[in-house]
């Protein structure tokens, strides 16, 4: 089913193997910062990194980029591991942290100082920003740029020893304040943060910056292809500069690909975190969130996400993918294997006046096209619920459902006719009085009648009352922005219904179901008797 993808990265890797540039195993890494939950954009990177290592024979490090203790936490570290494993990828014993290399990184910084390639700068953060210049103007050299190696060593040592307050000093690379690439204008390599780190505790009060850390960790781990997203393209010269200016005999190539964007949602941990902290969603695993935890809770399968990433592909073009592609992949993954039963979202009572309730139990297959899924019992009764939308007393042309005098088949049961509509004082339909055709039982129908259509139902006395949660898009617009985040939220993105499911669904060991004609549903792992709609059905279920 899944053709191995061929994209420019895979072609490059193949070339590197064919030419002998890379000998032996392909080594990649996925380097999340543990400052939030993973989203479907990360899945693209995970599928790529772990995918190519699997395909070409190699392995992948799961490396936490834990260089900012102020924003990071163990909760996220655990959630990220859970999500990567859930997607179906294994790092076995290759779980590392940037913090594992703090000693090595410190030594490398000293090496740069000794080579006259780094200096301690005592400008404030604001002054550094001001002197950085712009795209059209060069930056200004720091007055501390000419410090001697000895002075720099001593100051850096004192930074490490905790003698300075946050922001008082930084270590900067000495590169070129006139570089057209702003990242090369003496970037900061180390900063002071008096903060307890989740792994190293209070051992360090200076922390290395991402651009300094990442390339060295890649080299130390022997990463053969360092794959990252396009926003790092302008950082590549710095990645290379660091490795070229320390004594390191391994230099991974950094290769960039485009970020995944998805319509009607945001893929940025910062914005997703804002939704959580402002209480705009229930949490990181709210089923409307594009996080892997949210998608999982909604009932999306790992297979659907992997297939989605495969179809999106890997290019250098920035793109915002349509939600319908993800939905297509979800349905495709569920359609052949998930049990199909009946649930009613918006119940309307049907009383069958000529039916004598004697505990009759009907039955039907769990999946009409997949007999492997077996069959289930379907208790019938004199009182049923059908979907309110399946009845009208003013039927339009070609109405295939129930209306006064019309015949419909109850799925896997009998044909019924609507004889009477009972209304309450306000004129709302309260129940339908129908009669059933005894000879029309599904499978042994001798009635010769042609019903209008087929509708789903549950028997009132055996159905299980459940909460059904329907989800729409979290945002009203395809490209919600940071500035309008709150206004762009669609208040109709969650609808809660009190409905019913047939008992066999309730008692089944499965968590995924299709409720016929309504979509795919998933039992909420956190809330009893609640079903989340994973995705609706594209094609409305054909009668017959």
Partner whose footprint covers residue 516, from Mg ion, ligand ATP, none (CB < 5 to 8 Å by kind): none
Name the token pair of 68. Answer: 């900012």
The least distance separating ligand ATP from the CB of residue 229, rounded to whole angstroms, comes to 4
Q: Which is nearer to ligand ATP, 309 or 454 (CB)?
A: 309
User: Residue 127 — φ and ψ, nearest 5°?
Assistant: -65, -40
Partner whose footprint covers residue 32, from Mg ion, ligand ATP, none (CB < 5 to 8 Å by kind): ligand ATP
The least distance separating Mg ion from the CB of residue 49, rounded to whole angstroms, comes to 15
Residue with the CB atom nearest Mg ion in the bound state: 33
The least distance separating ligand ATP from the CB of residue 266, rounded to whole angstroms, comes to 9
Residue ranges that bind ligand ATP, judged by CB under 6 A: 31-33, 41-42, 44-45, 65, 228-229, 259-260, 267-270
- Closest-CA residue to 373 (of 364, 383, 382): 364
Distance of CA 454 to the CA centre of its chain: 36
Q: How many CA atoms lie within 13 A of 191 on its CB side?
A: 17
- Chain positions 425 to 484 lying near Mg ion, rule: CB under 5 A, are none
Q: How far apart are CA 488 and CA 479, in angstroms?
A: 9
The Cα diameter of the chain in Å comes to: 101
377 is catalytic: no
Q: Which is nearer to Mg ion, 103 or 231 (CB)?
A: 231
Residue with the CB atom nearest ligand ATP in the bound state: 41
DSSP string spanning 423-439? E-TTS-EEEEEEEEEGG
Calculate the alpha carbon distances from 435 to 403, 415, 440, 458 in Å: 13, 9, 12, 16
Beta-strand pair 454-455/407-410: parallel
Contact 342, 366 (CB under 8 A): no
Q: Which is nearer to Mg ion, 7 or 33 (CB)?
A: 33
Q: How far apart are CA 499 and CA 458, in angstroms?
A: 10
Q: How far apart are CA 266 and CA 479, in angstroms?
A: 8
In the numeric block, the tokens 């392909």 are attached to 26
Q: How far apart are CA 459 and CA 384, in angstroms?
A: 4
Partner whose footprint covers residue 268, from ligand ATP, Mg ion, none (CB < 5 to 8 Å by kind): ligand ATP
The least distance separating ligand ATP from the CB of residue 243, rounded to whole angstroms, comes to 18
Site string for Mg ion, 9-38 (x = CB under 5 A): ------------------------x-----
- Closest-CA residue to 235 (of 199, 286, 278, 184): 184
Beta-strand pair 260-262/454-455: unpaired
Partner whose footprint covers residue 259, from ligand ATP, Mg ion, none (CB < 5 to 8 Å by kind): ligand ATP
Contact 28, 222 (CB under 8 A): no
33 is catalytic: yes
The least distance separating Mg ion from the CB of residue 212, rounded to whole angstroms, comes to 14
Q: Which is nearer to ligand ATP, 13 or 260 (CB)?
A: 260
Q: Which is nearer to ligand ATP, 130 or 268 (CB)?
A: 268
The least distance separating ligand ATP from the CB of residue 318, rounded to whole angstroms, comes to 10
Q: Could you tell me how many helices (H) and strands (E) the chain has, helices first?
A: 14, 27
- Name the region of 354 (left: φ>0; alpha: ψ -120 to 50; beta: rest): alpha
71 is catalytic: no
List 10, 12, 33, 349, catalytic entry: 33
List 140, 193, 259, 349, catalytic entry: 259
Distance of CA 360 to the CA centre of its chain: 45
The least distance separating ligand ATP from the CB of residue 260, rounded to whole angstroms, comes to 4
DSSP string spanning 187-248? -EEEEE----BTTTBTS-SEEE-HHHHHHHHHHHTT-S-EEEEGGGGGGHHHHHHHHHTS--
List 108, 117, 147, 269, catalytic entry: 269
Q: In a 3-state reduction of DSSP, which class is residue 163?
A: coil
Q: Which is nearer to ligand ATP, 41 or 58 (CB)?
A: 41
The least distance separating Mg ion from the CB of residue 540, rounded to whole angstroms, comes to 43
Q: Which is nearer to ligand ATP, 42 or 160 (CB)?
A: 42
Q: Rounded to the nearest 10 degrees, how much is the dihedral formed by the CA atoms of 297, 300, 301, 302?
A: -90
Q: Which is nearer to ligand ATP, 226 or 245 (CB)?
A: 226
Q: How far apart are CA 458 and CA 440, in angstroms?
A: 18
The least distance separating Mg ion from the CB of residue 207, rounded to whole angstroms, comes to 15
In the numeric block, the tokens 């604001």 are attached to 126
Q: Which is nearer to Mg ion, 33 or 445 (CB)?
A: 33
Partner whose footprint covers residue 512, from Mg ion, ligand ATP, none (CB < 5 to 8 Å by kind): none
Active site residues: 33, 259, 269
Binding site for Mg ion (CB under 5 A): 33
């Amino acid at each position: 089913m899944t053709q191995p993808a061929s994209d420019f990265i895979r072609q490059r890797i193949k070339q590197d193997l064919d030419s002998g540039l890379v000998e032996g195993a392909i080594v990649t890494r996925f380097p999340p910062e543990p400052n939030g939950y993973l989203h479907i954009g990360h899945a693209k990177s995970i599928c790529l990194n772990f995918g190519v290592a699997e395909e070409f024979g190699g392995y992948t490090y799961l490396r936490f980029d834990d260089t900012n203790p102020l924003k990071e936490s163990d909760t996220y570290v655990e959630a990220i591991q859970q999500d990567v494993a859930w997607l179906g990828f294994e790092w076995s014993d290759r779980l590392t942290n940037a913090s594992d290399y703090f000693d090595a990184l410190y030594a490398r910084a000293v090496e740069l100082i000794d080579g006259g390639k780094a200096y301690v700068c005592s400008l404030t953060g604001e002054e550094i920003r001001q002197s950085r210049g712009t795209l059209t103007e060069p930056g200004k050299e720091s007055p501390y740029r000419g410090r001697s190696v000895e002075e720099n060593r001593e100051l850096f040592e004192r930074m490490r020893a905790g003698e300075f307050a946050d922001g008082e000093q930084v270590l900067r690379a000495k590169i070129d304040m006139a570089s057209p690439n702003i990242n090369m204008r003496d970037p900061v390599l180390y900063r002071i943060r008096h903060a307890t780190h989740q792994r190293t505790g209070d051992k360090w009060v200076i922390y290395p910056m991402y651009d300094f850390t990442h390339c060295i960790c890649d080299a130390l781990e022997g990463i053969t292809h360092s794959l990252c997203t396009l926003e790092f393209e302008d950082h590549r010269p710095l990645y290379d500069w660091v490795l070229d200016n320390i004594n390191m005999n391994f230099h991974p190539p950094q290769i960039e690909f485009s970020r995944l964007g998805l319509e009607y949602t945001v893929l940025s941990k910062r914005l997703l975190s804002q939704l959580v902290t402002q209480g705009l969603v229930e949490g990181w695993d709210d089923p409307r969130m594009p996080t892997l935890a949210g998608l999982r809770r909604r009932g999306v399968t790992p297979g659907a996400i992997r297939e989605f990433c495969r179809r999106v592909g890997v290019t250098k073009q920035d793109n915002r993918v349509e939600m319908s592609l993800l939905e297509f992949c979800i349905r495709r993954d569920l359609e052949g294997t998930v049990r199909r039963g009946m649930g009613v979202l918006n119940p309307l009572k049907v009383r069958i006046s000529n039916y004598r309730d004697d505990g009759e139990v009907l039955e039907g297959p769990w999946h009409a096209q997949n007999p492997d899924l077996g069959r289930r019992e379907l208790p019938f009764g004199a009182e049923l619920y059908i979907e309110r939308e399946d009845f009208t007393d003013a039927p339009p042309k070609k109405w295939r459902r129930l209306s006064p005098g019309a015949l419909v088949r109850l799925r896997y049961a009998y044909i019924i006719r609507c004889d009477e509509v009972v209304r309450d004082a306000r004129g709302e339909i309260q129940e339908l009085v129908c009669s059933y055709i005894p000879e029309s039982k599904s499978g042994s129908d001798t009635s010769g009648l042609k019903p209008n259509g087929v509708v789903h139902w549950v028997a009132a006395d055996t159905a299980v009352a459940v909460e059904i949660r329907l989800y729409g898009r979290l945002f009203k617009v395809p490209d919600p922005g940071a500035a309008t985040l709150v206004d762009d939220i669609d208040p109709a993105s969650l609808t809660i219904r009190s409905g019913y499911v047939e008992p066999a669904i309730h008692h089944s060991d499965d968590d995924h179901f299709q409720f016929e004609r309504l979509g795919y549903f998933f039992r909420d792992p956190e809330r009893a008797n609640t079903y989340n709609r994973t995705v609706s059905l594209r094609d409305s279920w054909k009668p017959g």
